[in-house]
Amino acid sequence: MSDYYQILGIPKFADDRQVRKAFRIKAKCLHPDVNSDARALREFQRVNEAYQVLRNAEKRRIYDLRLQNGFPAEKVHYQRPGKVKYRARGDKYAHYDTKEQASKNFDMIEKYFDISLFISLLIIGCFAFIYGVYRLWFSPEENINPYNGIIMGVFFVGMIIFFWRTKDKFFDD
């Protein structure tokens, strides 16, 4: 997938003014009226395509999602408001009447998935810690080191809680 930000030479958080300025600079050098080279024409078309996507808020949002999720499509297609189809992975489609409804349903699913994943991983970490303590005090055996389970459980639970509290910092682009 073409990286439109790299084509225009701007950061991912660039505003419309920076996008327009970068496009104008590139277009002055690559425009067919100024540069008659065939490669310059192809490069100008790529710059123009990048500009057309990044200047439109809806196309840019779709492009950023595709770039983040690694969809193999080359072009970003925009559908008019109304009956909106949101493509899931594979060939399945989810139909929603409005964009807000689709976003709300997806946010709710994502929220419950995050919570269930957090709770299950927290239980696994706590189980490792409790099993290590049990092996240390109540059922010590030779050749088995109970400290490994305790250390792993504490580390695992600590890392899960740390990432849960700071997940917004890691996933905001």
5 C-beta neighbours (distance < 10 Å), count: 19
Mean pLDDT, range 94-118, rounded to an integer: 68
> Same domain, yes or no, for 22 and 55?
yes
Q: Give me the pLDDT at residue 97, please.
A: 53
Check residue 159 and give its pLDDT: 81
* Domain membership of residue 167 as a residue range: 100-171
Domain check: are 62 and 128 in the same one?
A: no
- Measured CA to CA, the distance from residue 94 to residue 44 in angstroms comes to 36
> 58-97 pLDDT, tens per residue?
888 888 888 877 664 455 555 555 444 544 444 344 555 5
In a domain, 151, yes or no: yes
pLDDT over 70 at 170, yes or no = no
Which pTM value belongs to this model?
0.43
Residue 74 lies in a domain: yes
89 is a domain residue: no
Dihedral, CA atoms, 11, 16, 19, 24, nearest 10 degrees?
-160
Quote the mean pLDDT of the chain: 76
pLDDT tens digits along 138-169: 777 767 777 777 887 888 788 888 877 777 66
